[in-house]
Amino acid sequence: MYDYAIVSGGFDPLHLGHLKMFKEASKLGKKVIVLVNSDDWLTRKKGKPFMSGDQRLEIIQELECVHNAILQSEDTDDSSSSAIRNFAIRHPDDSIVFCNGGDRSSTKKIREAEVCARYNIDMQFGIGGNHKIASSSELIKEFQINTVERPWGRYKELAEGNGYKVKELIVDPGKSLSDQFHLHRSEHWVVLEGAGHIKQGGTRSIEDREFFIVEGESVYIRPTQTHKLTNPGEIPLRLVEIWAGQILSEDDIIRLDVDDNYGEK
C-alpha cells in the first residue's frame, strides 16, 4: 500500500462518482489527499463555479475516507501538476500514487503524467470504475435547463434575449405538432438528428408545399405562415427552434387542428 493516494478534480458539485473514487483511492493509499481545482480553473472550464473553492474544500475534508484536501492556487495550466509537484517535494521519502477516474484511461491523455514520472509517482486508472458515473457539468446543466413534456415529445429552452428565444425540440416517432401559425414571431428550424415531414402554408411568394427535412437542413417560417411538423421515422427527431420577433409568447399560437390535444409548444 502506498503512503499517499492523490486525487484531483473540480468536484463542482460533488457527486456519487467522486465518493466512489475517494473510497477506492483509500484502498491504495494509507492517506487520501484530494487536490481541489481553483475557482479560476472552473471559470475557464465552464464559465463560473457552482460552489466556491472554500465550500468544496470544507465538504471534502469532512469525508471519512479523505485525510486532507488542498485548494489549488497554481493550476493556470489547467492541470494539477504544480500541486502534485509541491506535495512530492514535501514528502520525498513517501510512496505516492496519482489516482485517475474512469474518464482518464492512459498517460497520453493526462497532463500530470510528466510530473508524476519526474517525481517517481505511480499512476493508477479506472479508480472508482472504468466508466464515468456522472458529470458535474451535466448535473448542473440538467438542473438549469427545464425540460417541458408535451404529447408529441418534449422541449428545453436553451437561451432567451432581446428579440429571440432558442429551444431544443424532440419529437417522438410517429408524433406531430399541431397545424398552427403565429401572429408575431418567425421561426427557424435546424434538424440535428432524424428526419421530419413539414406541411407549410403559402404566402404571396410561396405556394403551399409539403417536404422532408433531414439532419443538417433547415427551414424558415414567416409570421402568419401555417406549418405542421411530423416525425415519420423510427427514431426521435431532434431540432433547434429559433424564435425571432418583438413578441415572444407561448400564447402566440393559433392551432388549426379540429381535435386539439397538443398542449402549448
Q: DSSP 3-state assignment of 156?
A: strand
Work out how many domains the chain is built from and give that number: 2
Crossing angle of helices 136-144 and 39-46, rounded to 10°: 60
69 and 37, same domain (yes or no): yes
In a domain, 216, yes or no: yes
Q: In this structure, which amino acid lies at residue 228?
A: K
Q: Which sign does the torsion angle of CA 250, 253, 257, 259 carry?
A: positive
In a domain, 140, yes or no: no
175 and 218, same domain (yes or no): yes
* Domain CATH code at residue 170: 2.60.120.10
* Domain CATH code at residue 29: 3.40.50.620
> What burial class does residue 127 get, using C-beta atoms within 10 Å of its C-beta: 0-12 exposed, 13-18 middle, 19+ buried?
buried
177 and 129, same domain (yes or no): no
Which residue among 91, 109, 134 closes a domain?
Answer: 134
106 and 160, same domain (yes or no): no
152 and 71, same domain (yes or no): no
Q: How far is CA 114 from CA 71, 84, 109, 117, 128, in A?
A: 21, 11, 11, 5, 23
149 and 238, same domain (yes or no): yes
According to the model, what pLDDT value does residue 239 have? 96
In a domain, 244, yes or no: yes
According to the model, what pLDDT value does residue 263 have? 46
In a domain, 44, yes or no: yes
Q: How far apart are CA 260 and CA 30, in angstroms?
A: 65
- State which residues form the domain around 68: 2-134
According to the model, what pLDDT value does residue 160 have? 87
> What burial class does residue 122 get, using C-beta atoms within 10 Å of its C-beta: 0-12 exposed, 13-18 middle, 19+ buried?
middle
Per-residue model confidence as pLDDT tens for the chain (265 residues): 999 999 999 998 888 889 999 999 999 999 999 999 999 999 998 888 888 999 999 999 999 999 999 999 999 998 999 999 999 999 999 999 999 986 666 667 788 999 999 999 999 998 987 655 566 666 566 655 678 899 999 998 888 889 999 999 999 999 999 999 999 999 999 999 999 999 998 765 566 889 999 999 999 999 999 999 999 999 999 999 999 999 999 889 999 875 545 544 4
In a domain, 265, yes or no: no
According to the model, what pLDDT value does residue 11 have? 93
Which residue among 115, 134, 153 closes a domain?
Answer: 134
According to the model, what pLDDT value does residue 264 have? 44
In a domain, 119, yes or no: yes
Q: How far apart are CA 2 and CA 121, in angstroms?
A: 10
246 and 194, same domain (yes or no): yes
8 and 127, same domain (yes or no): yes
According to the model, what pLDDT value does residue 179 have? 93
Residue 211's φ and ψ, nearest 5 degrees, are: -160, 165
In a domain, 261, yes or no: no
In a domain, 223, yes or no: yes
According to the model, what pLDDT value does residue 150 have? 92
125 and 176, same domain (yes or no): no
115 and 9, same domain (yes or no): yes
155 and 190, same domain (yes or no): yes
Which residue among 134, 167, 195 closes a domain?
Answer: 134
- Residue that the C-alpha cell 481541489 belongs to: 36
Residues paired with 180 in a beta bridge: 227, 255
107 and 7, same domain (yes or no): yes
